Amino acid sequence: MQRSSLVFCGLILQFALADRGAMLHGVTTQAQTAGGMLIAAPGRWDEACFAVPAVRALMASGIGVGLLCAAGQREFWETLPGLAVLDFPTTIKPRALAGQLAGQWQAVLLWEPGVAADACIRAKIARRLGPNEPSLKKYLTHPVPLASAQRPLEHRVRHYLTVVETLGLDTTRSELFAPASLGLPRHPQSLLLFPDSDFGVSHEWPLERWTELVPALQAAGWALSLAGLAQGSGLATRLLERLGGTLPYLKFESLATALPVLAAQALVVAADGSLPHLAAFVGTPCVTLFGPNDPAWKRPLGRSHSEVRRHVACAPCFLTKCPLDGRCQGELSVARVLAAVAERSQLRSEWFSDDSVSSFAWLS
């Protein structure tokens, strides 16, 4: 085992012995005073969803764990029972946040640069762990080596699991990947359409295709509703106008408010963006329409979802605006989306089976 791995494993054992409560702004963590591990949550919603299994593995290890996130993510992370969530406003300065963290934590796990990472340095948290990436180099005292870029493409969840595996933790248990339960009833024929993408307009299916899809889904017996982003491109609003305002419509001021709506659906059909990942998080099957992104890298977690994609020579390009003619979206047919919906409607909603998790077949 490499020396860095020994350091990490020793750190895990040290934290596992902690048994006294520490208070930070009224939130109790199972850790020593000036002890335990703070996890700085990823800022993007899709990345937050991919980090959940790793966070759960740390929670189950016996370490005193707290999670630091932007205020808009608090409700999302509070769906994980027993997780102490500490939030901060997006307008806070690193120095002010550092003052709230100083003396509270022995270690922090950082996934990305930003206000939280800056604050952890200013707070003089002694051990700062994270993936060994150039953007994090100045923040880390214990960088975690990642797989070579020459290896075959892996799902993004592996980025987070690799780090906690280096700590000696088991990441193959099915409960780490279970959907969050909001305790809401699911309406069996409800289908939510979400045309907007927070990834950019190149990730959105054309208005004409959505307009053609709606009557076909209604003819199949689905009870449709439509939702869009307040800060999005306005595609959902234009679709509502094209349909003469005949569908129930929701506008999400923040994706954080989407969780209870998603949990009540039988199925979601959405553009590639953060919303399909949030649907997967609450266990709602989703048909995701991919364009410039690569589903092998960033599809929603779980086997109860479908990815529909028209492969073209220039994809995946990962661009937010297409420099060509948007062919990856324009050539994706309504028939293929309807076929994916029909397939999903025949399958019960599930997350992962024990066998699929243990063999990592869910990433294949």
Q: Are residues 142 and 257 in the same domain?
A: no
Whole-number Å distance between alpha carbons of 267 and 196: 16
Residue 141: which domain range? 3-171
| Structural domain total, the chain | 2
pLDDT of residue 327: 62
pLDDT of residue 62: 84
Among 108, 148, 114, residue whose Cα is nearest residue 130: 108
Instruction: Choose one of 137, 171, 205: the last residue of a domain.
Output: 171
pLDDT of residue 313: 54
pLDDT of residue 220: 94
Q: What is the CATH number of the domain that holds 29?
A: 3.40.50.2000
Query: DSSP letters of 164-222?
Result: HHHTT-----GGGGPPPP---PPPTTEEEEE---TT-GGGS--HHHHHHHHHHHHHTT-
pLDDT of residue 324: 62
Q: Are residues 151 and 271 in the same domain?
A: no
pLDDT of residue 13: 41
Per-residue pLDDT, averaged over 169-194, amounts to 92
The pLDDT tens digits for 188-229 are 899 999 999 998 888 899 999 999 999 999 999 999 999 999
Element of type H or E holding 267: strand 267-271
pLDDT of residue 70: 96
The pLDDT tens digits for 84-130 are 999 999 999 999 999 999 999 999 999 999 999 999 999 999 999 99
The pLDDT tens digits for 275-315 are 999 999 999 999 999 877 677 778 898 888 988 876 765 56
Residue 139 has pLDDT above 70, yes or no: yes
For residue 243, tell me if it sits in a domain. yes
Provide the whole-model pTM.
Answer: 0.85
Residue 232 has pLDDT above 90, yes or no: no
pLDDT of residue 110: 97
For the CA atoms of the chain, what is the radius of gyration? 21
Q: Are residues 135 and 15 in the same domain?
A: yes
